[in-house]
Amino acid sequence: MTTTEQLLSSVEMARFVANGFHRLDAIVPAELNERAIPEFDAGQQPGVAYGTPLKRAFPEGSIPRALLDLPAVAGALRSLVGSDPTVDHHHTHVREPHEGGAQPLHGDAIIDTRIDAFDIQLMYYPQKVTVDMGGTLSVPGSHLRRTNESDTGRYQNLRGQTRLTCPPGTVVLLHHGIWHGGRRNDSDIRRYMFKIRFNPTAPQVRTWDVSDLDDPAVARELSVFHPWSEHATSRLEIYNRIKMWRALTGDTSFDIDYWATRVANRPGRA
C-alpha cells in the first residue's frame, strides 16, 4: 500500500458504527474507471485464495491494487480493519439490462454475533449509477440486527432504505452484516459492481485517527434513530452500538444515557 495517512476521524467511525457503511463518492480517477469495465468483461481480475494477506493479494498494475492504493480508500480501510487484513474473496457483479429480477434483501454471512470484530466489504462502482439502473439497496443501521443470510428476503421495502445512485468511481465500505440486495436493472446499460471482502487479523481497537475521540459529536452519531425500527426497539440498536464502541475504543466505561452501565450492574460482585 502506498499510503494509509487519510484515516477516518472518530466522528466518522461513530457514524459507521451507527449506519453500517462509509461512502466515498467519485474517489476513483476517471482513467481507472475507463480501464475497469473492459477488464471486468474480459475476466482479467486475479484469482485470490481465501485468507491471502492483502499485501500479497493483488499484483502491481491490477485494478484492485490501484483501487486499494488510493489514499482515501487505503486510509478508510485501515481505519476499519487495521493495517494487515486478509482478503476473503472478490467478485464482479453484473446486472444485465432489463433482466427482470432483483436480489432478495440479505446479509452476507450465516448468523454472526461478533461485536468485537467485523469484516468489511468494499463495493466499487466504475460507472454512473442512475435510479433505473437498479443500484444496490441497503438498510442503514441494520448491521447489528443479527440475521441468517436471507432471513430478510421476504421483506420488500423498509422505511429508511437507500437505493444507491452515484457518480462514477464511487466506493462504499460496508459492515458485513448490513441488509442489502442488488436491485433490478431497468435501463439499457449493463451495471457493474466490483466487491472485495476483507477479514481483520488484529484487534480493531483505535485503528483510526482518535484525536477527536472526546468530541460530543461521537455520542450524537451513535444515538441516531433509523426509521425502520420504532422508538422502543431503536434503543436496542443504540445499546448494541455502545457495546461495539466500547470494543473499538477499549473504553469499557463509555455510555449513552447510562444504558450499558445500568445493564452491567451486578450488586455485591467485585
The DSSP string of 34-46 is HHHHHHHHTT-SP
Cβ distance 203 to 250 under 8 Å?
no
pLDDT tens per residue across span 179-204: 999 989 999 999 999 999 999 999 99
Report the chain's mean pLDDT, rounded to a whole number. 93
What is the mean pLDDT of the segment spanning 130-155? 91
Cα(167)–Cα(238) distance, integer angstroms? 32
β-pairing, 170-175 with 120-125? antiparallel
Residue position matching grid coordinates 441488509? 179
pLDDT in tens, 80-108: 999 999 999 999 999 999 988 888 999 98
Burial bucket for residue 178 (CB in 10 Å: 0-12, 13-18, 19+): buried
Task: Please state the rounded mean pLDDT for residues 144-150.
Answer: 88
pLDDT on residue 9: 98
- Fold for domain 10-199? Jelly Rolls (2.60.120)
Distances (CA, A) of 28 to 84, 121, 128, 129: 22, 17, 12, 14
- How far is the C-alpha of 87 from the C-alpha of 76, rounded, in Å? 16
Cell numbers representing residue 40 in the block: 471486468
- Domain segments of the chain: what residues? 10-199
State the pLDDT confidence band at 270, using cuts at 50, 70 and 90. low
Euclidean distance between the first and the last CA atom of the chain, given in angstroms as a whole number: 46
Top-confidence residue, 147 or 212: 212
